[in-house]
Amino acid sequence: MTSLLTNNAAMTALTTLKGISSQLDMTSNRVSTGQRVSAASDNAAYWSIATTVRTDNASLSAVKDSLGLGSSAVDTAYNGVTNVIDQLRNLRAKLQTALQPGVDRTKVQTEIDAIKSNMKAVAASSVSNGQNWLSTDGTTAGQATRNIVAGFSRNAAGVTTFSTIDIDVSTTALYNPLSGGSAGILDKVTSGISVDTLDISATTITDTNVKSYIDLVEKALADITKVGTKLGSSKTQIDGQKAFVDSLMKANDRAIGTLVDADIEEESTKLKALQTQQQLAVQSLSIANSASQNVLSLFR
């Protein structure tokens, strides 16, 4: 039955057009953003999970940056240690030269002083991100341990915790630039003498004294080699943790993608179909609206 007051066909066509337009808007948004869940209204549960994982990834990114800074600090300290080891070997050779008959020990001492000065300069300049692990007072509160943030986790209750890699710089210090406190490996006094203060220029210095100095240097070499080994182990640990954090971030990215990413091929195909449906719905609405005009033509 045709009614002049109510156009049922037009109302049906309009409802269909609105539904298609709504789907078209949703599909267009998915194609343009690449996400099927870009707001909480799309899927509250998935949006909440994805937002939490993104927050975790931001924290992991900060952890990765911390590990990068820690790795740089270890590299700097290790390079300083290897340089000092080479110079200690040179110092030992100078002391061995001083044992030869007729050698002017005053001139040898001049060379030794230059080596000692160079070692102290290397230790003092081994600074990374404001931290020096070779020239430091490891006994001062807050100075004995360097904490490198190395991990982040969130438990079921949502409580977050950070783990650290701890470096005891009191065991890596070659010098203590401050008066008092515990001395470093090279300025630690043993039997009244340290590598930093040894002097063979005095006429009272005997071959026995020089040999004891050689033993002192040998001991320092052994101790500093241990420091290098420790730093190498720390570097391996930091690099391993950095690789793990990187893989964890990628896994989180994949998890987020599984929850919120749109299938672009599917959505693009759907978009074309909806555009066609929209055109047909517009034509159907136009036909339905013209029905009343057809009724009027009967009275002409």
The per-residue pLDDT for range 274-290, each reduced to its tens digit, is 788 878 778 777 777 77
Neighbouring C-beta atoms of residue 205, cutoff 10 Å: 16
What is the per-residue burial (b if ≥16 Cβ within 10 Å, else e) of 114-148? Answer: ebbeebbebbeebbbeebbbbbbbbeeeeebebeb
Residues 293 and 157 in one domain: no
pLDDT of residue 37: 86
Residues 235 and 284 in one domain: no
Question: Three-state secondary structure along 82-151?
Answer: HHHHHHHHHHHHHHHHHCCCCCCHHHHHHHHHHHHHHHHHHHHHCEECCEECCECCCCCCCCCEEEEEEE
Residues 127 and 159 in one domain: yes
From CA 194, how far away is CA 116, in angstroms rounded?
11
The answer to whether 143 and 126 have CB atoms below 8 angstroms apart is no
Average pLDDT, the chain: 86
Residues 29 and 154 in one domain: no
The reply to whether 160 falls in a domain is yes
User: 183-239 pLDDT, tens per residue?
Assistant: 889 988 877 889 999 999 998 899 999 999 999 999 999 999 999 999 999 999 999
Which CA distances in Å does 294 have to 9, 228, 287? 14, 97, 10
Q: Give the three-state DSSP class for 154.
A: strand
Residues 117 and 175 in one domain: yes
Domain count, the chain: 2
pLDDT greater at residue 291 or residue 82: 82
pLDDT of residue 200: 94
In terms of phi and psi (left: phi > 0; alpha: psi -120 to 50; beta: otherwise), the region of 263 is beta
Whole-number CA gyration radius for the chain = 38
What's the pLDDT band for 45 if we cut at 50, 70, 90? very high
The reply to whether 216 falls in a domain is yes
Residues 68 and 145 in one domain: yes
The reply to whether 39 falls in a domain is no
Tokens of 49: 């999970």
pLDDT of residue 13: 74
Residues 136 and 30 in one domain: no
Question: Where residue 120 sits, what CATH number does that domain have?
Answer: 1.20.1330.10
Percent over 70 (pLDDT), the chain? 90
The reply to whether 49 falls in a domain is no
Which CA distances in Å does 187 have to 45, 139, 183, 205, 216? 62, 15, 6, 20, 11
**Mean pLDDT (whole number) for 124-140:** 84
In 3D space, the residue among 190, 213, 191 whose CA is nearest the CA of residue 109 turns out to be: 213
Q: Does the pLDDT at position 152 exceed 80?
A: yes
pLDDT of residue 145: 85
Residues 161 and 133 in one domain: yes
Residues 127 and 155 in one domain: yes
Which of 87-91, 176-180, 234-238 is the least confident region? Answer: 176-180
Residues 115 and 169 in one domain: yes
pLDDT greater at residue 284 or residue 179: 284
Range(s) of the domain holding residue 280: 8-34+263-299
Residue 175 is given by DSSP the state B
